[in-house]
Structure formats: C-alpha cells, structure tokens
C-alpha cells in the first residue's frame, strides 16, 4: 500500500503541475491549480515514511486514505452543487481528475485494509 500511496501522490503532483503550467500558458495562473500537488505531496511523504517505518505503516496508510478522502470530499463539495452549470474547462477537468484519483485511492485503501483484516483472521 505505501507504493500505491507514492504512485497516486506522483500522479496528483503531476496533475497539479500540469494545471498550473496550463494556467501560466493561458495567462491566468493561480496557486489553487496546485492543490492536487499539495495532496499528492502529502500522500507521497506518508508512503515513503511508511516504507521506512514498519511499526507505523498501518497508521500512516490510514492517514493517507484519510487525506485522499478529504481530497475527494473537497472536490465533491465544490463541484456537486454546480454540476448543472459547470463549464468544461481546464479547472473543471483538473478538479474532476483529482476527485477520481482520490476516490480510487480511498477504494484501494479500503480493499487493502479489508484484505489485511481477512488475512489476520485466517
């Protein structure tokens, strides 16, 4: 699971950098375009620390899933009420991708936790 956190963190960082770069290219760069990168950085750090500290791995992966869940909720709260009136631009696409990526990580994390619990009870 730590390697999954690192991978998803890298994807979110890349999404943030691309979003910010597109904003710079179009002349309206905003620091908010880097929000996916901030979430990705946290996931990456948690994944790397979990790789190096076996005793904290379980707690750190739970924290990583909580961070991803917060990322998904943030996107859902922001986009949910405006679904009927959204413009399909770069900002919308970036937010949508962040939400999907965070949700995918949460689902993988929950599956991993369930598999680990099942493995312990056997």
Mean pLDDT over each residue of the chain, to the nearest integer? 87
Q: What pLDDT digit, counting tens, does each position of 60-94 carry?
A: 999 999 999 999 999 999 887 776 776 777 777 88
Q: What pLDDT digit, counting tens, does each position of 18-35 carry?
A: 888 887 787 776 778 888
pLDDT at res. 47: 95
- For residue 36, name the pLDDT band (cuts at 50, 70, 90): very high
CA atoms within 13 A on the CB side of 102: 28
Separation of alpha carbons 3 and 111, rounded Å: 15
- Alpha helices by DSSP H, listed for the chain, are 2-26, 35-52, 57-79, 90-121
- Given a cut of 90, whether residue 40 has pLDDT beyond it is yes
- Of 117, 105, 45, 18, residue with least CA distance to 70: 105
Separation of alpha carbons 37 and 98, rounded Å: 10
pTM, to two decimals: 0.84
Separation of alpha carbons 54 and 50, rounded Å: 6
Separation of alpha carbons 4 and 107, rounded Å: 12
Separation of alpha carbons 118 and 91, rounded Å: 41
Q: Quick one: average pLDDT of 36-48? A: 95
- Given a cut of 80, whether residue 42 has pLDDT beyond it is yes
Q: Which sequence spans correspond to the domains of the chain?
A: 2-121
pLDDT at res. 96: 87
pLDDT at res. 121: 62
pLDDT at res. 8: 96
- For residue 43, name the pLDDT band (cuts at 50, 70, 90): very high
């Amino acid at each position: 699971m730590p390697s999954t956190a690192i991978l998803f963190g890298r994807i979110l960082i890349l999404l943030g950098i691309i979003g910010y770069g597109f904003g710079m290219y179009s002349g309206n760069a905003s620091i908010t375009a880097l929000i996916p990168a901030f979430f990705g950085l946290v996931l990456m750090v948690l994944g790397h620390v979990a790789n190096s500290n076996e005793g904290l791995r379980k707690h750190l992966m739970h924290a990583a899933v909580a961070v991803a869940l917060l990322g998904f909720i943030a996107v859902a709260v922001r986009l949910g009420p405006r679904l009927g009136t959204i413009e399909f631009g770069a900002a919308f696409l970036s937010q949508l991708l962040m939400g999907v990526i965070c949700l995918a990580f949460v689902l993988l994390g929950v599956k991993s936790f369930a598999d680990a619990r099942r493995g312990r009870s056997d």
